[in-house]
Amino acid sequence: MLTYLIKRIFEMVPTLFGITLISFFIIHLAPGKPTDIFSELNPKITPEARERLNKYYGLDKPILVQYGIWLKKISTLDFGNSFSSDHRPVIEKIWDRKQPLLQRRLFVTFMINLLAMIIILLVAIPIGISSATHRNTFYDKITTTVVFIGFAIPSFWLALLLMILFGVHLHWLPIAGLKSMNFDSLPLSGKIWDVGRHLMLPLFVSAFGGLAADSRFMRSSMLEVIRQDYINVARAKGLPERTVIYRHAFRNALLPIITLLGLSVGGLIGGSVIFENIFGIPGMGQLFYMSVMTRDYPMVMCILTIGAVLTLLGNLLADIGYMLADPRIRAR
């Protein structure tokens, strides 16, 4: 088991190297440069000034050399400084230790994605199980329709409708942002309630959109399992249906969900641009989008690298989870 894990971790290194190499080249292939934002169509930029800016950012070197420099820095976990005009270290831009947690982009995105994932699991798994056990009934059809509506509906549109209803008409919930103007003057409980109120709509919108995948996976894998002989045996033993489903069938039916969870670990730090923009949430999606648009190479590379590491780790975790859940795999 341990040797297997070590082997897997070592296998990750060349994969990661390949990912960074390809990413680095692809973002440099896109037309335009980080300096464009000040220098394009700006009459006050002379060729010398343009060269000086390129040199300042190290863009005058051949791309392989640039990659080498980046790689050398990264081996000491130094992701470099952003090319945008704030010149801050890129790590500080996603995780600013001087600020409270709620003002760190990585934390905000991670928190929202994690909460949404928990809500999705809490809702989707029971829906999946019950629609499997009530296959082809009216209930099954209704839940199927609802989760698919959630899947199909454009999240920005649903978000705007909910904002108009709960924010503008009913005045129940705030529209955008993470906290109110008077946040600092609130007691701790008030602060939690304030953030909670701001998170309600975003969490609902993102959870509603994510129900379909998990609940359908759960349903089909449950259907697969309850057809097995050992379930018949369990029923024949005279066990109550609840026990059959939740003790015997459920565990086996969870296996595909573990894979799904493993794959979504990488996604936990990636935010959706549209979603974050609509709700005015300062998360990773916005930052990534802005960095790509302004060709802020160090920032883009940092986010891609962290995302790649997490995805690889997620796959590993899924395999470990598999082994823990299924003795047959462990034996291999």
Site string for other proteins, 145-174 (x = CB under 8 A): ---------------x--xx--xx--x--x
- Residue 143 beta carbon to other proteins: minimum distance, rounded to whole angstroms: 31
DSSP string, 147-190: HHHHHHS-HHHHHHHHIIIIIIIS--S--SSSS-TTGGGS-HHH
**Size of residue set near other proteins by CB under 8 A:** 55
CB of 322 to other proteins, least distance (A): 38
Q: Which amino acid is at 110?
A: F
Determine if 11 is a binding residue for other proteins (CB under 8 A): no
Distances (CA, A) of 152 to 125, 138, 203, 208, 331: 20, 21, 17, 10, 41
Contact pattern for other proteins over residues 26 through 65, marking x by CB under 8 A: ----xxx---xxxxxxxxxxxx-xx-xx--xx--------
| Burial group, residue 45, by CB count within 10 angstroms (0-12, 13-18, 19+) | middle
CA–CA gap between residue 286 and residue 167 (Å, rounded): 23
Q: Using CB under 8 A as the criterion, what x/- string covers residues 62-91 for binding other proteins?
A: ----------------------xxxx----
126: left (phi over 0), alpha (psi -120 to 50) or beta: alpha
Contact call for residue 176 and other proteins (CB under 8 A): yes
Residue 2 near other proteins by CB under 8 A: no
**Residue 147 or 287 with smaller CB distance to other proteins:** 287
* Residue 178 in the binding site for other proteins (CB under 8 A): yes
Which of 27, 78, 96, 326 touches other proteins (CB under 8 A)? Answer: 96
Number of CB atoms found within 10 A of residue 26's CB: 11
Answer yes or no whether residue 105 interacts with other proteins by CB under 8 A.
yes
Give min distance, CB of 275 to other proteins, in A: 10
Q: What is the rounded end-to-end Cα distance, in angstroms, of the chain?
A: 10
Q: 197-231 b/e with 16+ CB inside 10 Å = b?
A: ebbebbbbbbbbbbbbebbbbbbebbbebbeeeeb
Tell me the closest approach of the beta carbon of residue 169 to other proteins, in angstroms: 10
Tell which positions 264-303 bind other proteins, by CB under 8 A: 276-283, 286, 290, 293-295
Report how far residue 85's alpha carbon sits from residue 141's, in angstroms, rounded to the nearest whole number.
Answer: 54
Q: Which residues bind other proteins (CB under 8 A)?
A: 30-32, 36-47, 49-50, 52-53, 56-57, 84-87, 96, 99, 103, 105, 160, 163-164, 167-168, 171, 174-179, 181, 276-283, 286, 290, 293-295
